Structure 1
Amino acid sequence: MKHHLRITRSLSTGLLVATILCCSNAFGKIWGPLSLGMDRNTLDATLRSDPAFEPPGEMTVMGSSSENDRFVTRKTFYGDLCELSFRFGSDDLLNAVSFYSKTGFEPSLYNSRFKARYKNLFMSVSDRYGLPLNCPDWPSPERMKPNRVLFLHTWHIGTKESIMTGIMRDTENKCYVVTTFVSGKIRPPQNNPKAIKAWDAVPEFFDLIKADALNAKGMAALAAKNGKAAIPLFEEAAQFGSSRALWALGQIYAGGKGIPADKEKSQQYYRQAAEKGFALAAVLIDKNFDAAMKELEVFPEDAKALLSTCQRAAAEGSVAEQFNIGIMYKNGYGLTKDPKKATRWLSAAAAKGDGQAAAALKTIK
């Protein structure tokens, strides 16, 4: 057995806290059915048969072939849909898999939304595998050659495997996060012990905090029975990744909010919110969180990561996730029922003017 450190976030200070965990050296699947060491035929058959992946050139519902020439994920990998790249060794067995995020960020967003996106990846991987081996300085775009990955953090995740996360800048100067699983132990980039303070200062949920303001305006519009005015507000919040906005859109299209009902669209929004871990939407899929995630075809490891991400977002100050985590603790949905913790998180959201949280507080038993 090997001991390592796991990153968690202090709920009182927001700082990174290291706690000792114990884990086995053994390492199995990378993600879903993917494993290092697969032969080409097995890998190809797996990718073409599993609904989590879209093969290159697959026919779309419009009758045309998709433009991508790589396999892509239909499910999010650490928060993003990704293109996949594979490398095989001399023995013709898979020895590296890279996940290239399909969401690119313009140069003007590099030090805000993109930094937060990379921080989210960094925290999510660390939550699963422990602290990285290194902590380099945040790079300037000038350091990155177009279409080349600049790897930043490295983890040894087993006796023979490593994972690296980094950044790629394309020829249009958009930046993407990249995650690579590789056979063998990798020597990490140069370490700067002082850099951990700078990384800790980067907000992980920049977009969700932005979405909170839009959600508040949308809720006010709904309170005034103006669903038409609320829709664009929630749609913009949803583009910032807000599961609560998706749930609200599902409610609007369910009817009774001042616009014609559209049951199919309502169910689509509810499902998207559930896939992001929003309790009030997920419970519509199943009364048990794990069963709901299974029904949604979310991999078990992703479901665990989803809960951890929601908790970190609540700790960073996202009103929507404070409400969401409060509901989970209140009902014992996904998290162990705990009235004190439910009160804590719902109170935090209510203190910021969240009416639903204030109403939920009154029903805690």
Structure 2
Amino acid sequence: YELAGQAGLDNAYSELGRMYRLGYGVHQDHKKAIEYFTKGAQSGNPQCNFMLGVYCSSGLGNDEREPDQKKAFKHFQKAAVKGMAEAQYNVGLRFLKGHGVEANSFNAAEFFRMAAVQGFQLAQVNLAGMYSEGRGVKSDLDEARAWLEKAA
């Protein structure tokens, strides 16, 4: 995998990061996982950006063990703009709750919608709730029902 990563296959860095994160075939090492996810992210791999966001939001793998929500948001957003539904959902949650970014219901709804149209169930449920409550979108119970039916 290391040679594949050096040859430009950014998925190899994602796989190496996953192996070190979970301890598959290697001794579990979060710092090493972050190192590989960083290499993959620099190559444009959205899964690597997503995993860096997970690490930043939890604080796992850094010496202080302090979460960095602003940095996490940036990593999730990089993965989201590349079309990763789980990252889009995560960015939507962060906009909704103001984690690492100023709360913005309109932006939350937009990112939930991006993930929802890809079939990401949690985004569909959240988008339905926003239509039901009129948060970030015009209140529309028919639209809320439609998204809940898609999620079911």
Q: Give the structure-2-normalised TM-score.
A: 0.51
1:360 Cα deviation after fit = 0.5
Instruction: Give the direction of change, closer, same or farther, for the CA distance of 1:356–1:312 in structure 2 (3 Å limit).
Output: same
Does 1:106 pair with 2:3?
A: yes
- Structure number with higher helix proportion: 2
Instruction: Give the direction of change, closer, same or farther, for the CA distance of 1:330–1:362 in structure 2 (3 Å limit).
Output: same
2:77 matched to which residue of 1? 311
- Summarize deviations over 1:7-26 as a string: whole Å, max 9, x none: xxxxxxxxxxxxxxxxxxxx
Identity %: 18
Does 1:340 pair with 2:106?
A: yes
Question: For 1:317, what is the secondary structure of its paired residue?
Answer: coil
1:345 Cα deviation after fit = 0.5
User: Relative contact order (C-alpha < 8 Å, sep 6+): which is higher?
Assistant: 2
- 1:105, 1:114 within 8 Å by CA — same for their partners in 2? no
Q: CA RMSD in A?
A: 3.8
- 1:113, 1:206 within 8 Å by CA — same for their partners in 2? no
- Summarize deviations over 1:248-283 as a string: whole Å, max 9, x none: xxxxxxxxxxxxxxxxxxxxxxxxx5x442xxxx6x
- Summarize deviations over 1:75-127 as a string: whole Å, max 9, x none: xxxxxxxxxxxxxxxxxxxxxxxxxxxxx62337732226877xxxxxxxxxx
Distance in 1 (CA, whole Å) between partners of 2:106 and 2:72 is: 22
Distance in 2 (CA, whole Å) between partners of 1:276 and 1:340 is: 25
1:336 Cα deviation after fit = 1.3
Distance in 1 (CA, whole Å) between partners of 2:47 and 2:97 is: 28
Instruction: Give the direction of change, closer, same or farther, for the CA distance of 1:303–1:319 in structure 2 (3 Å limit).
Output: same
Give the letter aligned to residue 3 of structure 2.
Answer: E
- 1:347, 1:357 within 8 Å by CA — same for their partners in 2? yes
Instruction: Give the direction of change, closer, same or farther, for the CA distance of 1:310–1:298 in structure 2 (3 Å limit).
Output: farther
- 2:92, 2:108 within 8 Å by CA — same for their partners in 1? yes
1:327 Cα deviation after fit = 0.7
Does 1:204 pair with 2:45?
A: yes
Distance in 2 (CA, whole Å) between partners of 1:206 and 1:324 is: 13
1:204 Cα deviation after fit = 3.2
Q: Give the structure-1-normalised TM-score.
A: 0.24
Instruction: Give the direction of change, closer, same or farther, for the CA distance of 1:347–1:303 in structure 2 (3 Å limit).
Output: closer
| Alignment match of 1:324 (pick from 65, 90, 110) | 90
- Radius of gyration: which is bigger? 1
- Structure number with higher strand proportion: 1
- 1:112, 1:206 within 8 Å by CA — same for their partners in 2? no
Alignment of 1:1-365 (within 5 A): 105-107=2-4, 110-113=7-10, 203-205=44-46, 241=51, 275-277=55-57, 297-299=64-66, 303-364=69-130, 365=135
Q: Give the length in aligned residue pairs.
A: 104
Distance in 1 (CA, whole Å) between partners of 2:78 and 2:49 is: 12
1:3 matched to which residue of 2? none
Instruction: Give the direction of change, closer, same or farther, for the CA distance of 1:343–1:314 in structure 2 (3 Å limit).
Output: same
Question: For 1:203, what is the secondary structure of its paired residue?
Answer: coil
Instruction: Give the direction of change, closer, same or farther, for the CA distance of 1:303–1:208 in structure 2 (3 Å limit).
Output: closer
